[in-house]
């Protein structure tokens, strides 16, 4: 491993704002990250680029190095997976058009989710969910979960997901997202690179998991998330080894959504273990951040 690989930089390449299902506005999120000492960041809202201009401006004000980001929902082998795109042109027409379609389909899915909840005997919370969605273009399950907690239907978000919003429950609506191949191609065409988000979270068997990584690599995928707020410590260790075995770079992110809900604050993402190849390795130099620690 390169002795100057900057493992010790404070990097967070996965976080959400009110542009998707986070509760902190993009500018405030960056202020929060700055007070936690963040040096390199990407805002990666679900299926939208709407928060990027404000976050980019706030990052510039604080001297934080900023990459455009997005966490795209994709369908693969009957499962929903998340693929993070980084450092792309946020004005790329193909990418912008694709995400616009997702916005419409999320709204329609929200209507169907609400109908399912009403059919199970709950009151309609569609309007409340829309009010929780800071961005009307990006309605998600977390907004319904917050609305149902506010109504007192459940005491916390996890319970709402477990009882209402996951497969087999009344508010869950199976949804066909864009394909992995198409989502990756759009990010690559827009000049960016792709990272498979929280690979330990997918409920697929070992064979499918292997096939997923092979397909991701053959489509030009660069990295997997190793250190993420969505992994346990054991999972982080497992994916550290896997990234080395497969020659994939490793990413790091808090997956922060909300001060009350999230395990890791923005700018306090779990640390990437030594012996990995950080996805920001080439950026540290370009950004003028060369605080590498010898021996990593
Ligand atoms: P969506 O993209 O609208 O299907 O919503 C997915 C989002 O819901 C995830 O990014 C999380 O923010 C949230 N989420 C999913 N599962 C859970 C869970 N079990 N508990 C809390 N939040 C969850
Ligand atoms: Mn989310
Ligand atoms: Mn995700
Ligand atoms: Mn996320």
Write down the domain spans for the chain.
103-165
Q: What pLDDT was estimated at residue 8?
A: 80
Q: What pLDDT was estimated at residue 85?
A: 98
* CA gap 22, 45 in Å, rounded: 8
Ligand closest to the CA atom of residue 166:
1
Mean pLDDT by 10 residues, the chain (296 residues): 63 98 98 98 98 98 98 97 98 98 98 98 98 96 98 97 98 98 98 98 96 98 98 96 97 98 97 93 81 42
- Best residue among 24, 141, 144 to mutate for probing ligand 1's pocket (most ligand atoms within 8 Å of CB) is 141
Task: Tell me if 161 CB under 6 Å of ligand 1.
Answer: yes
Q: What pLDDT was estimated at residue 260?
A: 94
Q: Tell me how far the alpha carbon of residue 62 lies from the centroid of ligand 2, in angstroms.
A: 25
- Best residue among 16, 23, 114, 140 to mutate for probing ligand 1's pocket (most ligand atoms within 8 Å of CB) is 140
Longest dimension (CA), the chain: 61
Q: What pLDDT was estimated at residue 3?
A: 38
Tokens 């982080």 — which residue? Answer: 236
Q: What pLDDT was estimated at residue 295?
A: 35
Fold of 103-165: DNA polymerase; domain 1 (1.10.150)
Please answer whether residues 173 and 113 qualify as being in contact, where contact means their C-beta atoms are separated by less than 8 angstroms.
yes
Q: What pLDDT was estimated at residue 285?
A: 79
* CA gap 153, 123 in Å, rounded: 10
CA angle 194, 200, 206 (to 5 degrees): 100
Atom of ligand 1 nearest to the CA of 261: 21
């Amino acid at each position: 491993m390169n002795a100057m690989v900057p493992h010790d930089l404070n990097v967070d390449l996965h976080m959400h704002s009110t542009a998707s299902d986070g509760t902190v506005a993009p500018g405030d999120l960056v202020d929060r990250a700055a007070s936690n000492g963040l040096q390199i960041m990407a805002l990666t809202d679900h299926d939208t680029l709407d928060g990027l201009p404000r976050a980019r401006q706030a990052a510039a004000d604080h001297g934080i190095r900023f990459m455009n980001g997005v966490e795209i929902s994709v369908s693969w082998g009957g499962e929903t997976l998340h693929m993070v795109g980084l450092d792309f042109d946020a004005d790329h027409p193909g990418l912008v058009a694709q995400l616009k379609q997702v916005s419409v389909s999320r709204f329609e899915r929200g209507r169907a989710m609400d109908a399912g909840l009403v059919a199970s005997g709950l009151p309609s919370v569609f309007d409340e969910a829309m009010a929780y969605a800071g961005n009307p273009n990006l309605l998600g399950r977390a907004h319904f979960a917050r609305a149902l907690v506010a109504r007192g239907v459940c005491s916390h978000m996890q319970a709402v997901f477990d009882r209402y919003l996951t497969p087999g429950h009344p508010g869950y609506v199976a949804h066909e997202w864009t394909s992995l191949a198409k989502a990756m191609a759009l990010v690559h065409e827009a000049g960016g690179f792709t990272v498979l988000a929280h690979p330990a979270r997918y409920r697929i068997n070992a064979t499918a998991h292997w096939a997923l990584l092979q397909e991701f690599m053959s489509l030009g995928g660069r990295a997997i998330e190793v250190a993420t707020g969505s992994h346990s410590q054991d999972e982080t260790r497992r994916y550290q080894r896997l990234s080395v075995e497969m020659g994939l770079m490793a990413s790091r992110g808090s997956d922060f959504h909300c001060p009350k809900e999230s395990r890791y604050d923005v700018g306090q993402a779990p640390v990437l273990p030594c012996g990995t190849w950080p996805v920001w390795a080439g950026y540290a130099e370009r950004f003028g951040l060369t605080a590498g620690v010898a021996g990593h």
